Structure 1
Amino acid sequence: MTNNAVKQVLIVGGGTAGWMTAAMLSKLMGPQLSIRLIESDAIGTVGVGEATIPAIQHFNAALGINEAEFLQSTQGTIKLGIQFENWGNAGDSYMHAFGPVGRPLGFTAFHHYWLAAQARGDNSSFWDYSLNYQAAHTGKYAPLPQIPNTPLQGLVHAYHFDASLYAAFLRRYSEQRGVVRTEGTIGAVVKTPAGDLASVILKDGQSFSADLFIDCSGLRALLIGGELGGGYEDWRHWLPCDSALAVPTAATLPVMPYTRAIAHSGGWQWRIPLQHRTGNGLVYSSRFLDDNAARQTLMSNLDAEALAEPRKISFVTGRRNQQWLQNCVAIGLSSGFLEPLESTSIHLIQSAVVRLVQCFPQQTDMAALRLEYNRQSQQEFEAIRDFIILHYHLNQRNDNGLWQYCRTMALPDSLAQRIELFRQSGAVFRQQDELFTEVAWQQVMLGQHLRPQHYHPLADSLTDDQLSGFLADLKAIISRTAAQLPAHQQFLQQGR
């Protein structure tokens, strides 16, 4: 194709993915681009991505969004972590809490000192040293960047929010910055002789051309899959869940500042507290649990009145082989699907948008940028995939074939090596700029009973008195700080 400047961008599909993309492009590149978004009110969105991770703050901050306005507009609540229930054995519970646990000494991570203390008879919980955990499980929250009079980090938070309200909020934001929304459904797509996308034709006859197309059409993957035939890497041999049922319930008070992921026979249930309702769902494998049994499991484990009938979502866990193909970038569910166990769905939209901005082509010859974008996307998806597989693999349940399959299945080499490293030495190393921190990996592995055989020898450099004093001081600071925080419910009411 002729190498011309990229001036026209066409986003196909709205929802969270479409409007997050439109908002960031219009904010950062609005004067340089003509941006149009095509969506149809007749086509529903999945709309279950209501829990996030702390990086969402950076996205909102880049857009200049005020937190109080955002929470009010989206019926949002604070999220301090994810509580995993029944993932080891039935009755077990631990939290992947955001933020630090304890503090390192020199070059040695905190958990090595905690493991050394355990070997000497200490019986404290690893989460005694997490401010986020102590605040979450007592329902406390206030903005606290740092624990006063200490070098210790304060609370680290993300959000729960209504994804459809967030999309509407970002639509208003985008349209104020020049994005043109067109209502309609696509009837045909025109391609160039070189195989690029040239234009889309709506069912009402309108035609729109662009230099760069962004596929935010969700699981349909209308452009990247349907028109360009982009291949898909199926990960169901590692993550066999392929179905979800979603249902909202009435809000329960007080609203707790964490997500719950509750393992059941054949799958797991999410519980996401918003101000006006609670989001619930069951993720399961149709191979091990039929739809009727899944519905019964979900409906019998709700903690409030259901506000609608459960809605089924079918999916194939995996990723597009090329998330940028020709002159089309897939963002959101069109780019791949990872179940929402660690609340990564909206983050993957965010990182894709930021990556696109960083790799945005000036000219329509975009091969080198496309290659780099796809390399980074693959790396990110695979790292998150491994972290999600970890939860399933470390289970000790025996009540359904799903759990037994996941416990004994062959793992990706990257994950098998990481588990073995922790098992032998307690060491966890973050790979380059991957999403989840060392502390996140530590919490899941320790929470699901993977105890290292050894810890770092530097942890033995402290005497018994020094080690117990170090831990006791940390525990007291965390406990005292958490106790002084106001209730999360109070924080929400102040923002109204």
Structure 2
Amino acid sequence: MNQKRIRRIVIAGGGTAGWMVAACISKIMGKILDIKLIESDEIGTVGVGEATIPTLVAFHRLLDINEQEFMAATQATFKLGIGFDNWRDRGLNYIHSFGITGTDHWTAGFQHFWLKGRERNLASDYGDYCLELVASLANRFAHLPRDGMNYAFHLDAGLYAKFLRRFSEGYGVKRIEGKIVEVKTNAESGYIESLRLDSGNDIEGDLFIDCTGFRGLLIGQALKIGYDDWSHWLFNDSALALQTESVGEPVPYTRSIAHESGWQWRIPLQSRVGNGIVYSSRYIDDEQAKQTLLGNIQGKILTEPRVIRFKPCQRQQVWSKNCIAMGLASGFLEPIESTSIHLISRAVSRLMQSFPSEGIQQSDIDEYNERSNWEIQHIRDFIILHYHVTQRQDSPYWRACREMKIPASLQHRIDLFRETGRVFRVPNELFAENSWVQVMLGQGLMPEQHHQVADLMGDAELANFLGTIKARIAKTVAQLPSHQAYVEQYCKAPDMNAAMAK
């Protein structure tokens, strides 16, 4: 392997991925590394990754990013979960929240006690026992002591990239304007030596991070690393995105509204709403998708709809030789559970944990690739769950989702929950047990039995147990301010129009 010491980092591509990578590396190791980022103002970014999950809160804390400054700069609002409308069937809705539902016993999860309470007519909706979910429906939010409220953000992806650029440049990152026209590799080792720009300049480096999006200029086109195609499980391959004016107060959750051949998102920011539709070109064409989206939006349209093509897949190796692919260059599932930004933060954090300062070793490459593959495969299964476990049969798209053969790893989880009410969770995987329970119940998968420990509680004891949890949550939520009021007090963004007028 290459025993050359790693001192020069070249990040190919900007946008959310490139500047997240730059921010993390420069904050941690900017004093000892030369970090350059190449991007072109002429090349657009996908820029619709506006919904996040709570891991971004942790990522920002690692980098000492001031939350109020970040939120004001990116027009951000808070997010407590994702609302799924019409996914189980038309007219049936649920929320996958970021919180913990109820109180577990060491022998069994809360769902077993809820199932017993439901059997005895002592329990209300499963979501009534989750603080974040109840707060979502009440449109309330506040930071609570001891991180008592799990949350993420809705943000403007373009403004986020600009915010991170300022942050990164403060730690020494050098931005180079230009288009990459050639990737120069060593004839013997195959390692990347430099990137030729349209200006004629060559940018040399020791380690290259490919953030060039779906094109994968370095990892794919130069190093010839292919994809594992997952489109036989995930049918969606297209999206349309546009922005609209806000017509009401922003709710603290993302809305995901299922349609006949895909689903629509609504992401409320402080100044506008991000909208889009994700669909399968096998079942609906672009014009039909556009009309579906335009027929289901609120507020004045601010931008023209634009089509985004993608393939649900994973790069066969995300680290090859001296190149690591991050963001869309490494693969893409789809935006249903807002995992794209999370995967970028995990990728660069993983690199920091195994940074090859004294030279690249095959053992580092193998471990990095194995952990990356393991992580995205579990996320893949969780996303497939949303489509496969459904009662919808009103269109060819949903019938195909119901009838498709799914990965054995997912089938095991479904069978285990249906037959026993238990959830199998691999340690350290992204989605915790409560996420699996919320989505499986929300999609209509009801366990056939519960753990016997719940049978040991009499009616009075079980009613008190469930009632106490529900009452405590209701009391807490009643004391919270409205989401809108809290955002205005905590992180109100400057008036963009007024700023431009000055």
Q: Could you state the TM-score of these two structures normalised by the residue count of structure 2?
A: 0.96
Shift of 1:252: 2.7
Runs of 5+ in structure 1 lacking a partner? Answer: 147-152
Alpha-carbon shift at residue 109 of structure 1 (Å): 1.1
Output the CA distance in 1 between the equivalents of 2:169 and 2:483: 33
Q: Deviations over 1:36-86 (max 9, x none)?
A: 000000000000000000010111111111111111000000000000000
1:427 is matched with 422
Residue in 2 aligned with 1:190?
Answer: 184
* 1:372-421 alpha-carbon deviations (Å, 9 max, x no partner): 00000000110000000000001111222111111010010100000000
Give the counterpart of 1:161 among 155, 159, 163.
155
- Separation (CA, whole Å) in 2 of partners of 1:2 and 1:348: 27
Residue 172 (1) aligns with residue 166 (2): yes
Post-superposition Cα deviations, 1:209-231, rounded to whole Å, max 9, x if no partner, equal 11100000011111000111101
> SS of 1:100's equivalent?
coil
Partners of 1:210 and 1:322 in 2: how far apart?
A: 20
- Listed as ranges, the matches of 1:331-370 within 5 Å are 331-370=326-365
Give, in whole Å, the separation in 1 of the partners of 2:439 and 2:240: 25
1:292 equivalent to 2:287? Answer yes
Superposed counterparts of 1:92-103, under 5 Å:
92-103=92-103
Aligned position for 2:266: 271
Out of 371, 374, 381, the position equivalent to 1:376 is: 371
Structure 2 residue aligned with 1:222: 217
Partner of 1:54: 54
Question: What amino acid maps onto 2:418 in structure 1?
Answer: R
Q: Does 1:467 align with 2:462?
A: yes
Counterpart AA for 1:431: V
What is the match of residue 21 of structure 1? Answer: 21
In structure 2, give the amino acid aligned to 1:167.
A
| Structure 1 Cα separation of the partners of residues 289 and 2 of structure 2 | 53
Where 1:169 maps in the other structure, the secondary structure is: helix
State whether residues 211 and 364 of structure 1, in contact with CA within 8 Å, keep that contact through their aligned partners in structure 2. no
CA distance in 1, matches of 2:388, 2:108: 27
SS in 2 for 1:181: strand
Deviation at 1:2, TM superposition (A): 5.3
Conservation of the 8 A alpha-carbon contact between 2:322 and 2:360: no
CA contact 1:244–1:284 (8 Å) conserved in 2: yes
Alpha-carbon distance in structure 2 between the residues aligned to 1:187 and 1:134: 52
Contact 1:323–1:335 (8 Å) recurs in 2: yes
Shift of 1:362: 1.7
Q: Are the counterparts in 2 of residues 232 and 321 from structure 1 also a CA contact under 8 Å? A: yes
Matched to 2:170, the amino acid is Q
Q: CA deviation at 1:363?
A: 2.7
Q: Distance in 1 between matches of 2:394 and 2:47?
A: 31
1:1-41 deviations in whole A, cap 9, x for unaligned?
A: 65221100100000000000000000111112110000000
The aligned residue for residue 117 of structure 1 is 117
Query: CA–CA distance in 1 between the matches of 2:61 and 2:470?
Result: 33
Counterpart of 2:244 in structure 1: which amino acid? T
Question: Where do residues 409-420 of structure 1 align in structure 2 (5 Å cutoff)?
Answer: 409-420=404-415
Shift, 1:122, TM fit: 2.8
1:461, distance to aligned residue in structure 2 (A) = 1.1
Size of the alignment, in residue pairs? Answer: 490
Q: Partner of 1:155: helix, strand, or coil? A: coil
CA–CA separation in structure 2 for the residues paired with 1:406 and 1:175: 46
Q: Distance in 2 between matches of 1:27 and 1:244?
A: 34
8 Å CA contact 2:416–2:424 kept in 1: the answer is no
What are the superposed Cα offsets for residues 426-472 of structure 1, whole Å, 9 maximum, x if unpaired? 00122021000000000000111100001111111111110011101
Aligned with 1:429: secondary structure?
Answer: coil
How big is the shift at 1:365?
A: 3.1
Query: Which residue number corresponds to residue 150 of structure 1?
Result: none
Q: Residue 31 of structure 2 aligns to a residue in which SS?
A: helix
Whole-angstrom distance in 2 between the partners of 1:328 and 1:274: 35
Is the 1:13–1:39 contact (alpha carbons within 8 Å) kept by the matching residues of 2?
A: yes
Distance 1:199 1:335 in 2: 20
Q: What is the distance in 1 between the residues matched to 2:218 and 2:247?
A: 41
Superposed CA RMSD: 1.0
Contact in 1 for aligned 2:243/2:273 (Cα 8 Å)? yes
Q: CA deviation at 1:254?
A: 1.0
After TM superposition, what 4+ stretches of structure 1 lie above 6 angstroms from structure 2? none
Q: How many angstroms apart in 2 are the aligned matches of 1:225 and 1:364?
A: 23
Does structure 2 retain, via aligned residues, the 8 Å contact 1:288–1:400? no
Q: Look up the equivalent residue of 1:55 and give its one-letter code.
A: T
Distance across 1 between alignment mates of 2:326 and 2:438: 30
1:452 aligned partner, one-letter code: P
2:195 maps to 1:200:
yes
Of residues 245, 248, 255, the one that matches 2:250 is 255
In structure 2, what is the Cα distance between the partners aligned to 1:179 and 1:73? Answer: 20
| 8 A Cα contact 1:50 1:160, kept in partner | yes
Match of 1:149 in 2: none
Post-superposition offset of 1:306: 1.2
Point out the more displaced range, 194-203 or 364-373: 364-373
The equivalences for 1:236-255 within 5 A come to 236-255=231-250
Shift, 1:359, TM fit? 1.6
Contact kept? 1:131, 1:154, Cα under 8 Å: no
Identity %: 52
Q: Distance in 2 between matches of 1:403 and 1:145?
A: 43
Q: Given the alignment of the two structures, is residue 450 of structure 1 paired with residue 445 of structure 2, yes or no?
A: yes
Distance in 2 between residues matched to 1:15 and 1:290, nearest whole Å? 28
* Separation of aligned partners in 2, 1:366 and 1:269: 44
**What one-letter code is carried by the residue in structure 2 that aligns with 1:174?**
S
SS of 1:436's equivalent in the other structure is coil
Q: Distance in 2 between matches of 1:106 and 1:357?
A: 35
Q: Contact conserved, 1:145 with 1:156, CA < 8 A, in 2? A: no
TM-aligned CA deviation for residue 123 of structure 1: 4.7
Return the letter of the residue paired with 2:481.
P
2:498 corresponds to which residue?
none
d(CA) in 2 for partners of 1:71 and 1:209?
Answer: 35
Q: Which amino acid aligns with 2:10?
A: L
Query: What code does the residue aligned with 1:3 have?
Result: Q
TM-score if structure 1 supplies the norm length? 0.97
| 1: CA distance, partners of 2:66 / 2:248 | 25
Take 1:405 and 1:93, find their aligned partners in 2: how far apart are those partners? 21
2:30 match: secondary structure: helix
Assess if the C-alpha contact under 8 Å between 1:398 and 1:404 holds in 2. Answer: yes
